[in-house]
């Protein structure tokens, strides 16, 4: 009798202690890409989250902060599985990360059903800024068509009259093309969306040459970039200017530099952020990121940093009570923290309203290649379908 009472008391104490400890830890589950050659992006995102955690002292509002990383291998079904695992097995309080739009499209509904807040630190699927917006969905990056819309505007400014468009045949790739078509005032003389397995552009480059456009627009992130830019030079096409979104960034610039791809110097792309944006938190972030990884951060890392700081702002606003989803959400909507892009303002659909800049590939003081912000192309820009969001 005593033995049973003792055992039960011990069990209850352990359970209570474990629960109490669980109450004291805030867990953020992060789905990113850690395998396949595209893990070059995932590595940046992971490092961005880790620098943010270090700046927070691994605490949120006094409670211990734990980051759990999972890999999606660029597959929506795996991303969905990992999201489920993070919620059900690891009992995370928040979900964040998600590089790919088709992965987050499959994974977000899982988070919604579990009433968890999910913060995209990259995937800018247009669904979630418009009709598919959700009170628990936040995007700390951008909506897919915004960056190419800025590029279209830049192309107009540069006097480009005819354009050939090259992209990837999946959700984000199509939305990138939509974006540039929205603002570009000239004529699009050709369009090719290649499958994700595509590595040899000989046929497409022959078509581009035949069309003889003023410029070529490309969306080739991650490892598609190096293959495409190499073949572009090999086909003798460097006289036709290349304009890209998300194809040259801090993640793959070191690769381009090590392969002496000099025709990329001076190339311009558009983004809401650049490593030399002039504010104190960005300077600190870039310096600490370089110390940690020996590389410049790309926007992937900057978004991850802002995503974690955003969650922190929400938890702080709720007085540390991270289970009070309504208070946390309100805190996140207010976004009262120093963002790497300056001042972060959210629309009703929880997507940022922000500036977009033109950035050029230049050499820094040490001769390392880096992107530098040159001019503002769009000011206080919101996703075009924001009006469709019923929040």
Partner 1 sequence: MDYALLAEQFFNGFQLGIILFLVAAGLTLVFGIMDLVNLAHGTLYMFGAFFAATFSMVTGSMFLGMLFALPVTLVAGMLMEWSLLRTLYQRNHLDQVQVTFGLIIFFNELFLIAWGPEGAAIQLPDYLQGTTPLFGDVVVPDYRLVIITSGLLVALGLYFLVSKTRIGMLIRAGASNREMVAALGVNIKMLYTVVFGLGAALAGFAGMIITPITQAESGMGEGILILAFVVIVIGGIGSIRGAFIAAIITGLIDTLGRSFIDVAMLAVMDTEGAETAGPAISSMLIYIIMAVVLAVKPQGLFPPKGA
The minimum distance between CB 206 and partner 1, in angstroms, equals 4
# residues near partner 1 by CB under 8 A: 36
Is the alpha carbon torsion for 83, 84, 88, 94 positive or negative? Answer: positive
Verify binding: residue 259, partner 1, rule CB under 8 A: yes
Verify binding: residue 204, partner 1, rule CB under 8 A: yes
Burial readout 234-250 (b: 16 or more C-beta within 10 A, e: otherwise): eeebeebbbbbbbbbbb
**Closest to 353 in 3D by CA, of 333, 329, 327:** 333
Q: What x-and-dash track marks residues 157-176 binding partner 1 by CB under 8 A?
A: ------------x-------
The minimum distance between CB 37 and partner 1, in angstroms, equals 4
3-state secondary structure labels for all residues of 259-276: CCCHHHCCCEEEECCCCC
Among the candidate windows 121-129, 147-155, 255-263, 345-353, which touches partner 1 by CB under 8 A? 255-263
Rounded to whole angstroms, how far apart are CA atoms 150 and 355? 9
Interface residue with partner 1 among 8, 206, 287, 330 (CB under 8 A) is 206
Work out whether strand 369-381 and strand 354-363 pair parallel, antiparallel, or are unpaired: antiparallel
User: Quick one: CA torsion of 157, 139, 284, 373, rounded to 10 degrees?
Assistant: -10
The minimum distance between CB 39 and partner 1, in angstroms, equals 4
Q: Which is nearer to partner 1, 167 or 282 (CB)?
A: 167
Verify binding: residue 77, partner 1, rule CB under 8 A: no
Interface residue with partner 1 among 68, 114, 189, 193 (CB under 8 A) is 193
The minimum distance between CB 35 and partner 1, in angstroms, equals 7
Interface positions, 330-389, toward partner 1 (CB under 8 A): none
In a 3-state reduction of DSSP, which class is residue 373? strand
Rounded to whole angstroms, how far apart are CA atoms 201 and 203? 6
Interface positions, 225-254, toward partner 1 (CB under 8 A): 226-227, 230-231, 233-236, 252
Q: Which is nearer to partner 1, 167 or 281 (CB)?
A: 167
Rounded to whole angstroms, how far apart are CA atoms 373 and 376? 8
Q: What x-and-dash track marks residues 12-51 binding partner 1 by CB under 8 A?
A: -----------------------xxxxxx--x--------
User: What is the Cα 50 distance to its own chain's centre?
Assistant: 15
Interface residue with partner 1 among 12, 15, 18, 203 (CB under 8 A) is 203
Q: Which is nearer to partner 1, 49 or 346 (CB)?
A: 49
Edge-to-edge strands of the sheet including 242-244? Answer: 187-194, 162-168, 215-218, 242-244, 268-271, 354-363, 369-381
Q: Which is nearer to partner 1, 221 or 352 (CB)?
A: 221
Cα within 13 Å of Cα(270), Cβ side? 28
The contact set with partner 1 (CB under 8 A) reads 35-40, 43, 169, 191-195, 197, 199-200, 202-204, 206-207, 209-210, 223, 226-227, 230-231, 233-236, 252, 255, 259-260
């Amino acid at each position: 009798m005593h033995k049973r009472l003792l055992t039960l008391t011990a069990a209850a104490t352990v359970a209570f202690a474990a629960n109490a400890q669980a109450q004291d830890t805030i867990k953020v589950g992060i789905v990113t890409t850690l395998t396949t050659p595209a893990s070059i992006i995932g590595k940046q995102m992971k490092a961005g989250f880790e620098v943010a955690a270090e700046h927070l002292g691994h605490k949120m509002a006094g409670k211990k902060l734990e980051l759990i990383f999972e890999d999606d291998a660029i597959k929506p079904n795996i991303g969905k599985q990992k999201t489920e695992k993070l919620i059900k097995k690891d009992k995370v309080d928040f979900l964040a990360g998600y590089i790919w739009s088709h992965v987050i499209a499959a994974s977000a509904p899982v988070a919604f059903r579990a009433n968890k807040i999910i913060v995209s630190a990259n995937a800018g699927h247009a669904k979630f800024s418009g009709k598919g917006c959700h009170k628990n969905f936040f995007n700390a990056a951008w909506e897919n068509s915004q960056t190419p819309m800025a590029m279209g505007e830049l192309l107009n400014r540069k006097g480009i009259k005819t354009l050939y468009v090259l992209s990837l045949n999946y959700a984000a790739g199509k939305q990138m093309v939509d974006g540039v078509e929205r603002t570009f005032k000239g004529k699009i003389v050709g369009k090719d969306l290649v499958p994700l397995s595509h590595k040899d552009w000989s046929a497409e480059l022959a078509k581009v040459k035949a069309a003889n456009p003023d410029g070529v627009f490309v969306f080739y992130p991650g490892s598609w970039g190096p293959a495409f830019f190499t073949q572009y030079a090999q086909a003798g096409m460097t006289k036709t200017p290349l304009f890209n979104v998300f194809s040259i960034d801090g993640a793959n610039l070191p690769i381009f530099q090590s392969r002496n791809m000099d025709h990329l110097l001076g190339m311009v792309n558009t983004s809401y952020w650049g490593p030399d944006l002039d504010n104190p938190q960005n300077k600190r972030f870039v310096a600490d990121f370089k110390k940690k990884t020996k590389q410049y951060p790309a926007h992937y890392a900057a978004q991850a940093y802002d995503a974690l700081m955003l969650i922190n702002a929400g938890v702080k606003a709720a007085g540390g009570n991270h289970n009070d989803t309504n208070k946390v959400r309100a805190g996140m909507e207010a976004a009262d923290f120093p963002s790497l892009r300056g001042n972060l303002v959210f629309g009703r659909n929880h997507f940022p309203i922000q500036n977009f800049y033109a950035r050029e590939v230049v050499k820094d003081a040490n001769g390392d290649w880096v992107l530098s912000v040159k001019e503002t192309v769009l000011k206080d820009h919101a996703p075009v379908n924001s009006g469709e969001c019923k929040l």
